[in-house]
Amino acid sequence: MVEAKDEENKLQADMHQLVELIQKDENNWRAYVDLVNLLATSENLVEAEELGLKSLALFKEDQVAQDNLHYTLGNVYYLAGSYERANEFFQLVTDEQLKYDAVMMQAQTWYNQQNYQKALVYALTGTEMPENDLAGFILLGNIWLSLENMEQAASAFEQALSFDENNFDANFGRGLIATVLKEASNPWFKRAQALDEKHFEQQAGQLDALTQIMMGNDTNE
């Protein structure tokens, strides 16, 4: 209870500081972006949306500000579960430094909507960019897994493991495939369980669901 109160106090202090920065310099678009992000992560989504849209109008002549605000607003709508609206803003991002994140967020929104083909298009685009990272290949692996392409999924998870061999999600994903395909050895499941046994047990239901799907496909064949 005390910890929650401390977090609330820190949040209020951070918001107050950002408001002061804006009052001192109304052209400080970064303070607006930070405040929108803070409102969103604290689940004040309506306020975050209102401030974000207002900020877009205020900085309509500044392309860098526009890109950052478009990406930030995309995240606001993503957190609100408004995935189509989120993608509208992610698509507007042109800044090279933000482009990768925007593309991968579009992949994530389509994945959340179970539109795996569209998610795949964006994830493949993102993972071909220089900024490709661990999270991007884990998402790609999960998309391939949802499309029941075990070979491509395994490749994506192995690429993720090349970034961090002790990542739980990458190990669990690769171990899931090894189990379904009945591979001779499965060091990935062992490592995932050792990394986080509680999470491992929670995720184990995925194996049952995927096995049933694969058995159904085998029966149909």
Which conformational region is residue 206 in: left (phi greater than 0), alpha (psi within -120 to 50 degrees), or beta? alpha
Interval 178-210: pLDDT, tens: 998 999 999 999 999 999 999 998 888 777 776
- pLDDT over 60 at 218, yes or no: no
Q: How far is CA 118 from CA 76, 135, 144, 194, in A?
A: 21, 18, 12, 34
Interval 3-18: pLDDT, tens: 656 677 788 888 899 9
Which residue type is seen at 77?
A: Y
Q: CATH topology of 1-94 equal to that of 116-221?
A: yes
- CA–CA separation, 81 vs 97, rounded Å? 25
CATH level 3 topology of 116-221: 1.25.40
Interval 82-101: pLDDT, tens: 999 999 999 999 998 899 99
- CA–CA separation, 61 vs 16, rounded Å? 27
- pLDDT over 90 at 119, yes or no: yes
| Global pTM value | 0.88
**C-alpha angle 75/138/186, rounded to 5°?**
155
Task: Supply the DSSP symbol for 152.
Answer: H
- CA–CA separation, 60 vs 177, rounded Å? 48
Query: Domain-by-domain residue ranges, the chain?
Result: 1-94, 116-221
Element (H, E) at 84: helix 83-90
CATH 1.25.40.10 corresponds to the domain 1-94: yes
